[in-house]
Amino acid sequence: MITAAADGSALGNPGPAGWAWYVDDGCWAAGGWKHATNNQGELKAVLELFRATAHLDEELLVLCDSQYVINAVTKWMAGWKRKGWRKADGKAVMNVELLQELDAELAGRRYRFEWVRGHVGHPLNEAADERARGAATSFQRGADVPNGPGWNIECESAVSSDPAAGPAPASESVDGDAPDLDDALFSLDEEPEAWHTVTLALSTEDIDRLRVRAQAEGLSPEEFLRGLI
């Protein structure tokens, strides 16, 4: 099994942006753009990880702190494709080019996504985040972007069923061959069969914090709350 973290970063969101995937210090890659969103960075990181490992037969375990990416791949993508890459409300899916490229890379692959909480000291997630932010900062400053060694012969030693840095306790595993795993009390997918009302009482400070965290993920406050639930 290949265990890797993938992460994105956008300064200003949108703004100078970066992406990175990371296995270990000798096996990682990064890049970015002068102007993009955090979600684009998150998608690009996963896309480039699948491209880098396309020649291998091993299962890929992707550690990711973006619920948007995980839900897009494991829950929403199939429905978007059936509707011609449009959402339930008829509007075009955002980031459709990256999603279509990722969809093509997923074909025939064995993979799992595991959600890890960002910025809590998970070693692989922190390493990917550092490199994604480094790429974004390089674009901001007009400096050379540290691209990393990519997948090379040294990476083969990282293919292990018992990775040195296991996932943090606060994580959620989603199989690539089971696109709709939702054992919660009720579903809050993008296209649920029935809506359920949840009422929350938030202080002004709570709302301000919610908006900041949602913006950092490139989501609306409502979308961010749905992800937390």
The answer to whether residue 182 is catalytic is no
The answer to whether residue 35 is catalytic is no
Q: Which residue's structure tokens are 């020649």?
A: 55
The answer to whether residue 129 is catalytic is yes
Q: Tokens for 112, please give them.
A: 């799992």
CB neighbour list of residue 180: distance below 8 Å, 6 or more residues apart: 74, 75, 189
Catalytic-role residue among 18, 32, 41, 42? 42
The answer to whether residue 119 is catalytic is yes
Catalytic-role residue among 7, 48, 103, 105? 7
The answer to whether residue 8 is catalytic is yes
Residues 40 and 95: beta-carbon distance below 8 Å? yes
2-10 and 15-24 beta bridge pairing: antiparallel
Partner residues linked to 228 by β-bridges: none
Catalytic-role residue among 35, 97, 119, 154? 119
Burial class (CB in 10 A: 0-12, 13-18, 19+), 55: exposed
Q: Where are the alpha helices (DSSP H) in 32-90?
A: 38-52, 67-71, 77-82
The answer to whether residue 183 is catalytic is no
Sheet containing strand 2-10, edge to edge, reads: 27-36, 15-24, 2-10, 60-64, 111-116, 171-175
Catalytic-role residue among 24, 48, 65, 217? 65
Active site positions, annotated: 7-8, 42, 65, 119, 129
